[in-house]
Amino acid sequence: MTFNPRDIEQQVYVALSRSKKGSPLRRRAFDRLLGLTRAPESAAKSLAAQKIPVLFSDFPELAEEAINAIYDLCEDLDPEVRMSGYKSLVHISEVDCKLVKRNTDVLVQLLQCDEPREASVVKDALCRHLDFDPVVTFSVLCDQMTPHEQQSMDGEQENQHLRELVIRFLAQDARNLIRRHADDPGSESESIMAESLSEAIVRPPTSDSARVLVDLMLSMSYFRREPSRGRNLLIALMRLIDASLDTSSTSASMQATFDGLDTYFELAETVSLQKRLASPSELLRFCLNSLVRGDKLKHLPRHLQLSAAGVIARALDESRDELRLSSEMREFHALRDQAVDGCLSLLEVFTARQDLSLKPADLKSLRTLIGACKARSDYTSWKPSPVLKQITNKLLQVKEVDADKALVALVKSLASEPQPLPLDKPQAPAHGPSSLPQKPSGPVRPPAKRPAPTSDEAESSRGRQQAPHLDDEHRHKKLRSGADAKGQPVNTPAHGLSLLSRMTPSSPSPSPLPSLDSPAPTSHMRGARKQADITNPRSMSDEAPQSNVSANVKTRNTATGHSASGGRPFSPVVGFSIKGAAGRELRDSGTGSGSASPSLLERVATSSPGSLGERLGGGGGGARRPGRGF
C-alpha cells in the first residue's frame, strides 16, 4: 500500500471533527497511525509520531501499545524520525501526567546520544517535563545523578558517564528551572533536589562533576540557610581529599587520583573561606592532621603541594579573624602552633625544584607561614630550630622570594639570632647625681686658659683673702674696674672648674648682688655667713677648690668682678654702698619706682652713659667726687 501523507492527515482531521471520543471513526484513524510506525518510509513514521498524541487519550486500552511504538521511533535509524519521537514523548506526558516519570527516565537515557541536534531536542524535552511535574522529574534526574553499586566494570563506567551527563544538564540547561521550582524554601522539590545533590557529591563521577555539583549547591539558598548544611558539604569534600590521598602508590592510579585533588582543594576553599558556609578552622584542622601530620604532603606533585600549602595558609588567616570575633584566641593559638610545627615540611615546598615558578598567591602564603613562626617566636618561648633556619635561608635563593623586599626582611628576621638586651643599670632621674657622666681619669682641660694675674691683681687678691672687710672706696674702685666708661661689663676669661662643678645641677643661687629691698648685712652677719661656709660639707668637698665660693655658684673672676661665664659683675662685698643706701631711702620714700628693682649689676649693664651715682640718687645732679662712689 502506497503511503499518502495527505490522505492520513485528512482521515485524522475527519475523525476529530465529526466523531466523539472513543468512536469507531477515531479508532480506525488511531489504528492506522500505529501501523505507520512500522512503515518503511521515514516520512510515515514522523507523521505517526506527530498524530498519535492527538488520539492517545481516547483509547486507554491502546496506551501501552502506543507508547511502545513511540519508543521504537526514538530508536529509529533515521535521526529525523528519532527527533520526532522525542517530541512525541513530550506531548504524551502533557496528555497523561502518569507517564511523566516513565518518559523522563527514557529521555535521561537518551542524553547519551552523540548527535548535538538530537541532544538539544532531548534536553528541551526534559525541561518541558520539569515544567509539567517538577517533583517527579527532579526525582528521576537525581536518582540517575546519585551513585549506584555496579557489579561489572563496564556497567560502572556507563553509569559514571550518564551521571556526568545528568549533572551537566542540571547545572547548565536546567539551572533556571531549578531556581524556579527547586529553590522554594520548604517545598518538596527543594528537599528532593538538596538531598540528591548531597548524596551525589559523596561520590562524584569526576572532579569536574564535583565542581558542577558544588556550583549547583551554592546556587541554592537551601545550603546557605543553616550552617550545618554547609558544614556537611565541607565534610564531603574533605572525605574526597582524604580518599584520594589514601589510594594505592602505583604510578598510574596515583596520577589518575591526583588529577582531582587540586579541584577538591579549590572547592573546599570556596565553601569554607570564600562563601563562609563552613568554619575555616575546621578546614585548617583537617589539612594539618591529614597532610602535615600524616606526612602525605611530600608524596604529592609539587603543584599539589603548593595548592595544599596555600589552602593551609589562607585557612590560617581566616581562622584568626573568625576566632578573634568569637573570643576563641586560645583555639587559634593552638592551631597556629600546630601549623608552625609543620612549617618544616610546608616551607620545603617552596624551596623544591624550580620547575614551577611561584605565583603572587604562593608568596602571600609564604608570608603568612613565616609570619606565624615569627609571632610564635616573639610571644612564646618557642624558637626556630637550626633546620628551620636553614630552610628559611634557602628561601632567599628563590628568585621570586628575593624580589619581594618585605618577604626577604621577614625571612631574615626569623633566620637571625635575637640579640640579648644589654644589662645596663637602671637610669637615675634626670637631675640626680647618677645621671652625670663619669669623671675622666686624666685632668680636665679648662674651657679657656686663665690669664696670669698681674702683680697688682695678685696683690689685690691676697689682700682680699687676708682682709675681707675693705672700705667702701676700695670696693667701689674694684667694682668700677669691671665696667667701661659707658657702664658696659667687660667679659674676662673664665676660671677653670672641675667637671663636677660645671655639670652638677643645683637650685638657682641668689643673685651675687642683693636687690635694693634687702637690708645691708652687718659685720656679725657676715661673720655668721662665713661660719656657715665653714660648717657646710659641700664647701669642704674636693670638687670645689675655692673654699670661699659655694659649689653651686659659678666661679667668678676676682680681679675684674665678672663671672666666669661672662655674666653679671661680682662684688666680694655683700651689702650696699652709701649711695646704694641713699637710693633705697629715696625709693622707700616714694620717689623711685614702686616695682621691684633689678640687681645693681643688671642696672649697670643696661645703663646709658651718665653718672651711676646720680642714677642711684634718684637722678639728682652734682659733680662726681673722686675717690668716692663708682
Least confident of 113-122, 290-299, 602-611, 615-624: 615-624
Q: Cα–Cα distance between 57 and 98 in angstroms, integer?
A: 12
Least confident of 276-290, 348-362, 496-510: 496-510
Longest dimension (CA), the chain: 169
Chain segment 398-422, per-residue pLDDT in tens = 888 888 888 899 988 887 755 544 4
Residue 562 bridge partners (DSSP): 557, 569
Instruction: Give the Cβ contact number of residue 22 at 10 Å.
Output: 10
What per-residue confidence (pLDDT) applies to 149? 65
**Between 350 and 448, residue with greater pLDDT:** 350
- Kindly state the average pLDDT of the residues 148-175: 80
Task: Give the confidence band of 258 by pLDDT, cuts at 50, 70, 90.
Answer: confident
Q: In this structure, is the dihedral angle defined by the CA atoms of residues 95, 98, 101 and 103, taken in order, positive or negative? A: negative
- Phi first, then psi: give them for residue 407, nearest 5 degrees: -70, -40
C-alpha cell at 100: 511523566
- Kindly state the average pLDDT of the residues 174-196: 88
Task: Give the confidence band of 576 by pLDDT, cuts at 50, 70, 90.
Answer: very low
- Kindly state the average pLDDT of the residues 522-534: 40
Least confident of 32-36, 460-464, 491-495: 491-495
User: Which amino acid type is present at position 64?
Assistant: E
Chain segment 28-81, per-residue pLDDT in tens = 999 999 999 998 999 999 999 999 999 998 999 999 999 999 999 999 999 999
* Nearest partner of 320 among 280, 348, 283, 350, judged by Cα: 280
When the pLDDT of each residue in the chain is averaged and rounded to a whole number, the result is 73
C-alpha cell at 504: 652638677
How far apart are the two ends of the chain, measured CA to CA in Å?
161
- Kindly state the average pLDDT of the residues 537-562: 40
Task: Give the confidence band of 443 by pLDDT, cuts at 50, 70, 90.
Answer: low
**Between 164 and 570, residue with greater pLDDT:** 164
Q: β-pairing, 556-557 with 562-563?
A: antiparallel
What per-residue confidence (pLDDT) applies to 403? 87
What per-residue confidence (pLDDT) applies to 612? 40
**Between 159 and 515, residue with greater pLDDT:** 159
Chain segment 212-234, per-residue pLDDT in tens = 999 999 989 999 888 899 999 99
Q: If DSSP codes are grouped into helix, strand and coil, which group holds residue 591?
A: coil
- pLDDT of 287 > 90? The answer is yes
Where is mean pLDDT largest: 166-175, 182-191, 505-514, 611-620? 166-175
Task: Give the confidence band of 566 by pLDDT, cuts at 50, 70, 90.
Answer: very low
What per-residue confidence (pLDDT) applies to 11? 87
What per-residue confidence (pLDDT) applies to 366? 92
- pLDDT of 583 > 60? The answer is no
- pLDDT of 1 > 80? The answer is no
Q: Cα–Cα distance between 25 and 7 in angstroms, integer?
A: 15
What per-residue confidence (pLDDT) applies to 376? 93
Angle between helices 207-218 and 153-168 (to 10 degrees): 40
Across 562-585, b (16+ Cβ under 10 Å) vs e yields bbbeebbbbbbbebbbebbebbbe
Using CB atoms within 10 A of its CB, is residue 299 exposed (0-12), middle (13-18) or buried (19+)?
middle
Chain segment 496-516, per-residue pLDDT in tens = 444 444 444 444 444 433 443
What per-residue confidence (pLDDT) applies to 16? 83
CA separation (Å) from 58 to 22, 30, 71?
A: 5, 9, 20
**Between 155 and 582, residue with greater pLDDT:** 155
What per-residue confidence (pLDDT) applies to 78? 94
Task: Give the confidence band of 375 by pLDDT, cuts at 50, 70, 90.
Answer: very high
Is residue 338 within 8 Å of residue 389, measured between CB atoms?
Answer: no
**Between 315 and 495, residue with greater pLDDT:** 315
Task: Give the confidence band of 243 by pLDDT, cuts at 50, 70, 90.
Answer: confident
Looking up cell 600546630, which residue turns up? 338
Q: If DSSP codes are grouped into helix, strand and coil, which group holds residue 482?
A: coil
